[in-house]
Structure 1
């Protein structure tokens, strides 16, 4: 008897990528059904008790009837969905963290939740490097001026120009899959790289590990790459920004919760910071009237650092390996609730 699998993709991690990846990993007799969620055309949000989800509980419940395996990026795995779908046994989230899944409820119902760490590490690292360059060289501002018919020679004044990467000291807060890649890129460009990450034991000779206060005092460019935890939430605030050298550049392509954005805008308004560039924000989409939309010398992109074709393909491929392992009765490589596996 065939195993029913739901591919609940969206307009980034496409259903065909999920289906093809799973088929490539297993020869099991699978019957696929598909549900296309509206993200990113419609922003993700809270659905019942889970966050950063797309679609509705009702449509997912209907699509999951008789389904044992679901692969998705954004579908909301809520307590209500779990209670209504007793056949479900595996829920794969093709993201670095399954924030759209209620792990406690999934564990209670014996549903294993898998995820896809590192799927967008290369894309995010490349975007970070691009944001550093865009901010330091004011590429977006000069581009906008030229489109408006302005050829501004004053951008060449000494007090208007920014630092080069070569010869600069760059501080990275976090040295995981993204931060370590950024460090290698910056090293290749001739930067001195400092790292603050209490969990990184081997920097491979690429960077120097230092305490946070030393990193801040020495860094002409600061880039954030830490995960959000109770310890890292708001870790870069007014005092930390003030500790940076005059004319520093700040970049955040990690998570909005790491940085105090009001303090960032204040530091830009005062001229203490030369520039900043951010891909993530405390509220997404950015609300109308936010200071982030009018603060000078701030480059912003709409949370798309990880947006590449390779990211979508990587996400499907990582998840597909755990689908195959689940169907073979093997321990999952990336299980968010491993206690479920111990009881089987």
Structure 2
């Protein structure tokens, strides 16, 4: 495909240089144009029909004019950008599970397929979940903070304060998609008993990873750890509310790496303040970043991180390689593995 021109719009996680190197390896004779936003040093933004985007649409539009493809992680692929590529742009590749930084309606109107990578960071997120479960159940974040403050708290060895090992724990997974399945696989290696609630889960997949499908009520009442892996929908918004938290075992742990909107934050704060829950691991919030004065990140029982569960070198490197393969497939007239608007794919 000599003469093919691909714009590689990266950032400080998946750089334009990394995208360009993988595109050059997947497409012979390609010419790449690179640009980078300053995310995550500067936050992403919403607007012009896109969400969680980083970069200047006007600058991107100037680069896309005359290009055959655009490959990006977070660049704002707005209607303006797609219009600039009119007549030449044949595919947009996004190294994310959900291409929310693309105006899909505008892309479909322009006849430009948008390929993406569902489950691209499932390994990183699953390892984060299991690692932080272990830390939080054993009280390690609080102990580390105490020691950093100059206090040696030997009472962490008291029987009434020590936590469970995973091999003795029942872990409930709310959502058994790609990430939930991988978490279940890792938990099985530790010997944990795994429950799962997901109305759309295939029973054979649950059985494969050793998870027993149950109702949400059964899961909440029967789990030492409840870990959230559900998509955000009208049905799942605030699925963990005051009633759900009250139904959890006293001393249980809540882990949320999915979406902040799945949890009622005021109800969670109350459950932690009362001592009903042992603690919480929160990598996502509503809103993000947390509002000034949000009490949850400051609570000693909360292991809070700024949406980092999916951050690893493997995610960056493998995502760049996979999206280059997907974009190359479309340019060669083949069907990609994952297209957000398949109606825009060529029919011939």
User: Which bracket does the TM-score occupy, shorter chain normalised?
Assistant: over 0.9
Q: Is the contact made by 2:142 and 2:300 (CA closer than 8 Å) also made in structure 1?
A: no
Q: CA deviation at 1:318?
A: 1.6
Deviates more, 1:295-304 or 1:149-158: 149-158
Within the alignment, does 1:32 sit opposite 2:32 as a pair? yes
Q: Is the contact made by 2:245 and 2:268 (CA closer than 8 Å) also made in structure 1?
A: yes
Within the alignment, does 1:211 sit opposite 2:212 as a pair? no
Rounded Cα–Cα distance in structure 2 between residues aligned with 1:177 and 1:48:
31
Rounded Cα–Cα distance in structure 2 between residues aligned with 1:337 and 1:170:
36
Within the alignment, does 1:94 sit opposite 2:98 as a pair? no
Rounded Cα–Cα distance in structure 1 between residues aligned with 2:200 and 2:257:
20
Deviates more, 1:92-101 or 1:286-295: 286-295
**Secondary structure of residue in 2 paired with 1:158:** coil
Rounded Cα–Cα distance in structure 2 between residues aligned with 1:88 and 1:187:
46
Q: Is the contact made by 1:47 and 1:56 (CA closer than 8 Å) also made in structure 2?
A: no
Per-residue CA deviation, residues 123-143 of structure 1 (Å, 9 max, x unaligned), is: 110001111112111212111
With the length of structure 1 as denominator, give the TM-score of the two structures.
0.96
| Aligned alpha-carbon RMSD (Å) | 1.4
With the length of structure 2 as denominator, give the TM-score of the two structures.
0.95
Q: CA deviation at 1:30?
A: 1.2
Q: Is the contact made by 2:12 and 2:39 (CA closer than 8 Å) also made in structure 1?
A: yes
Rounded Cα–Cα distance in structure 1 between residues aligned with 2:327 and 2:225:
41
1:132 paired residue number: 133
Rounded Cα–Cα distance in structure 1 between residues aligned with 2:271 and 2:146:
24
1:325 paired residue number: 329
1:46 paired residue number: 46
1:63 paired residue number: 63
Within the alignment, does 1:315 sit opposite 2:319 as a pair? yes
**Secondary structure of residue in 1 paired with 2:166:** coil
**Secondary structure of residue in 1 paired with 2:152:** coil
The 5 A counterparts of 1:218-257 are: 218-257=222-261
Q: CA deviation at 1:17?
A: 2.1
1:271 paired residue number: 275
Q: Is the contact made by 1:162 and 1:274 (CA closer than 8 Å) also made in structure 2?
A: no
Q: CA deviation at 1:343?
A: 4.9
Rounded Cα–Cα distance in structure 2 between residues aligned with 1:295 and 1:146:
16
**Runs (4+) off by over 6 Å:** none
Q: Which one of the candidate residues 295, 299, 323 is aligned to 2:299?
A: 295
1:111 paired residue number: 112
Q: Is the contact made by 2:112 and 2:344 (CA closer than 8 Å) also made in structure 1?
A: yes
Q: CA deviation at 1:285?
A: 1.7
Per-residue CA deviation, residues 22-48 of structure 1 (Å, 9 max, x unaligned), is: 222232x31110111111111112132
Rounded Cα–Cα distance in structure 2 between residues aligned with 1:342 and 1:58:
28
Q: How many residues in Structure 1 have an aligned counterpart in Structure 2?
A: 343
Q: Which one of the candidate residues 286, 290, 299 is aligned to 2:290?
A: 286
2:81 paired residue number: 81
Q: CA deviation at 1:210?
A: 0.7
Per-residue CA deviation, residues 278-321 of structure 1 (Å, 9 max, x unaligned), is: 11111112232111232330110110111111000121122111
**Secondary structure of residue in 2 paired with 1:227:** coil
Q: CA deviation at 1:209?
A: 0.8
Rounded Cα–Cα distance in structure 2 between residues aligned with 1:263 and 1:223:
17
2:192 paired residue number: 191
Per-residue CA deviation, residues 158-212 of structure 1 (Å, 9 max, x unaligned), is: 3322222112111001112211111111111121100111221121151111111
